[in-house]
Chains A and B, each alone.
Chain A
């Protein structure tokens, strides 16, 4: 039984230009203790997907289709008070930019205790001890409880945020771009910290990022999003070594590797589709070097391996595509020749 299962989930924003479908028919599943990475470029819908799962959509956003099953309950049908009990104790959240993540007018300790006590029956003293323990675990001294957020460095604040997310030992943690904006050294530290904590707790984790090196390093399973759709999902190794969707292939080629002796990076020309008026059929067709007339039809979700699916008409030719996509000239568009 999966811990989390998304079935045909779609989310829309109401804008002045009409409804914007940021997430379209996403199917996803996550087992307990698994780490799932969701990758994609800006605007692909991964952040919206995350907010949908966490029920943190802004006022103009709403789930317009599908179900989200978590631990036997449908999250899309929960009332506000039911959500309160789910939050943090069941599903917690590591926020992206920790610089402003803490209320500047209260000390770290006060906020920590407030969050703990919102979900447990702990007394102030117990909660404070617990908070102190968590801070020690993430490598910040207990003494920091008495400090104000602006007295901590950026890296320290990030650790506090991680500590907060883990405080109630939730079965699911969502990490939003945990390494974006950090220098390489801090990135590594935070990643290691998250990994260690996660394996110690045994929580499942969803990591949202645009950096596939993070996902490649840490995630058990990977989902690739493009234009609001989940175009490929599977075990991380499968998704990257045996990519079945041209976009994933393009992505893997676009990222530099120290070990690789490829001289040049191959990038994907073009821009993501407009989600207010999405194109008919496959959303990637416009930028796909292998697109044909058939791609004007919505591509089906094809099974290409054990727990590995891709949204493409030509998954059977994946191997050929992989070879060709490694070559730079494949990606040069007719119009640019």
Chain B
């Protein structure tokens, strides 16, 4: 990796950290601006006096705002995310398992969607303007237009309730007992619960790569170097995949990381439909229960994930396309 590219990456990394900092600071002020006592965001109404006093010192609640802010940032950086009102446990211990659940569903879905979607897009482009293309594109668009929670509802309606093939929600059956932490994930029971939400989510995220790939392929196939490859007698397969698809894929990869970011944001809805105990569902419940530390931390974690994904997208662009850093 040469100088130029490295410099570009460092610049993007710096910007990402800056964004993260802004979000953290905004959260700090937002939660302080809550109606009522500024201490509401960290102290639950039902806490004992001694617990309150302890928290007060930890968060410097009796100190001026600037000191509070510094304490807040220090806590954030050391992973001290406060104590949940609902569960009376440190937030950090609650979040980790949820994060894994969200990743298991969301990351898998987006990766699958992009792999399948790219092939679909390339195929549609090769059949451009034929009825396969027109109806295929319409189908892909429909999958995107249909709200993902609705398709989820339909899937549950048909496959869970009507046909009784698959469970309707959650990650494990009530009777399931995991032999270990990871054993729980590698079980058939988990997979059974994963199938429906995974398919629904994948189908939804399939559209962007399919359409982007299709567009890019159509553009790329018009390029001079494709003409030259044709004139030079390279095989159709070689032209389509080695050259056209490889070029067309670059923006798609960039979107992959961005889509993953979106998926994290949208996890709230998907996890609600399938009662999937992930970050999204946790944030949703925390909001309803007015569990401020939990809500704040989950939000921050989601934002951090998205910012990281955006940075990853930039890094991927630089790595895959030799020209990127040159044009920034």
Q: Do A and B share a complex?
A: yes
The interface-forming segment of B59-67, B152-160, B231-239 is B231-239
Q: A103 CA to B323 CA in the complex, in Å?
A: 12
Give the contacting residue for A118; candidates B223, B225, B233, B250; CB below 8 A.
Answer: B233
**Besides A119-B233, A150-B326, 10 other A-B contacts (C-beta < 8 A):** A88-B232, A95-B227, A95-B228, A99-B224, A102-B228, A104-B323, A114-B242, A115-B234, A118-B234, A150-B322
> Looking across the interface, which residue of chain A has its beta carbon closest to that of B226?
A103
The reply to whether B233 and A87 form a contact with Cβ atoms under 8 Å apart is yes
A1 contacts the other chain (Cβ, under 8 Å)?
Answer: no
A143 contacts the other chain (Cβ, under 8 Å)?
Answer: no
The reply to whether A92 and B231 form a contact with Cβ atoms under 8 Å apart is yes
Q: A164 CA to B223 CA in the complex, in Å?
A: 18
Chain B positions within 8 Å of A331 at CB level? none
- Identify which of A101, A105, A115, A150 gathers the most chain B CB atoms within 10 Å of its CB: A105
Give the contacting residue for B235; candidates A84, A86, A92, A105; CB below 8 A.
Answer: A84
> Looking across the interface, which residue of chain B has its beta carbon closest to that of A114?
B234
Minimum C-beta distance from B134 to chain A (A): 16
10 contacts between A and B (CB under 8 A): A54-B231, A83-B233, A87-B233, A99-B224, A102-B225, A103-B243, A114-B238, A118-B235, A118-B238, A150-B326
Give the contacting residue for B224; candidates A85, A101, A105, A118; CB below 8 A.
Answer: A101
> Looking across the interface, which residue of chain B has its beta carbon closest to that of A148?
B322
A284 contacts the other chain (Cβ, under 8 Å)?
Answer: no
Chain B positions within 8 Å of A150 at CB level? 322-323, 326
Give the contacting residue for A100; candidates B225, B233, B234; CB below 8 A.
Answer: B225
The reply to whether B235 and A93 form a contact with Cβ atoms under 8 Å apart is no
Q: A83 CA to B228 CA in the complex, in Å?
A: 15
B7 contacts the other chain (Cβ, under 8 Å)?
Answer: no
Encode contact with B along A222-238: 1 for CB under 8 Å, 0 otherwise: 00000000000000000
A97 contacts the other chain (Cβ, under 8 Å)?
Answer: yes
B310 contacts the other chain (Cβ, under 8 Å)?
Answer: no
> Looking across the interface, which residue of chain B has its beta carbon closest to that of A89?
B233
A56 contacts the other chain (Cβ, under 8 Å)?
Answer: yes
B247 contacts the other chain (Cβ, under 8 Å)?
Answer: yes
Q: A280 CA to B231 CA in the complex, in Å?
A: 36
The reply to whether A88 and B224 form a contact with Cβ atoms under 8 Å apart is no
> Looking across the interface, which residue of chain A has its beta carbon closest to that of B128?
A59
Minimum C-beta distance from A170 to chain B (A): 11
- Identify which of B238, B321, B323, B326 gathers the most chain A CB atoms within 10 Å of its CB: B323
Chain A positions within 8 Å of B74 at CB level? none
The reply to whether B233 and A101 form a contact with Cβ atoms under 8 Å apart is no
The reply to whether A105 and B321 form a contact with Cβ atoms under 8 Å apart is yes
Minimum C-beta distance from A163 to chain B (A): 13
Chain A positions within 8 Å of B232 at CB level? 87-88, 92-93, 115, 118, 164
Chain A positions within 8 Å of B234 at CB level? 114-115, 118
> Looking across the interface, which residue of chain B has its beta carbon closest to that of A100?
B224
The reply to whether B225 and A101 form a contact with Cβ atoms under 8 Å apart is yes
Interface residue ranges of B199-229 to A (CB < 8 Å): 223-225, 227-229
Chain B positions within 8 Å of A101 at CB level? 224-225, 228
Chain A positions within 8 Å of B321 at CB level? 104-105
> Looking across the interface, which residue of chain A has its beta carbon closest to that of B320?
A105
Chain B positions within 8 Å of A97 at CB level? 224
> Looking across the interface, which residue of chain A has its beta carbon closest to that of B230?
A56
Pick the 6 closest A-B CB pairs, nearest first. Answer: A87-B233, A100-B224, A93-B231, A115-B232, A103-B225, A88-B232
Interface residue ranges of B271-285 to A (CB < 8 Å): none
Minimum C-beta distance from A116 to chain B (A): 10
Q: A93 CA to B228 CA in the complex, in Å?
A: 8
Interface residue ranges of A112-170 to B (CB < 8 Å): 114-115, 118-119, 148, 150, 161, 164
- Identify which of B225, B229, B231 gathers the most chain A CB atoms within 10 Å of its CB: B231
Chain A positions within 8 Å of B229 at CB level? 103
Minimum C-beta distance from A78 to chain B (A): 12
> Looking across the interface, which residue of chain A has its beta carbon closest to that of B225?
A103
Q: A114 CA to B229 CA in the complex, in Å?
A: 10
Chain A positions within 8 Å of B230 at CB level? 56
Chain B positions within 8 Å of A103 at CB level? 225, 229, 243, 246-247
The reply to whether A100 and B322 form a contact with Cβ atoms under 8 Å apart is no
Chain B positions within 8 Å of A99 at CB level? 224
Chain A positions within 8 Å of B320 at CB level? 105
> Looking across the interface, which residue of chain A has its beta carbon closest to that of B129?
A59
Q: A115 CA to B235 CA in the complex, in Å?
A: 10
The reply to whether A100 and B223 form a contact with Cβ atoms under 8 Å apart is yes
Q: A56 CA to B323 CA in the complex, in Å?
A: 29
Q: A86 CA to B233 CA in the complex, in Å?
A: 8
Minimum C-beta distance from B226 to chain A (A): 8
Chain A positions within 8 Å of B223 at CB level? 100
Q: A102 CA to B247 CA in the complex, in Å?
A: 12
Q: A83 CA to B238 CA in the complex, in Å?
A: 16
Chain A positions within 8 Å of B225 at CB level? 100-104
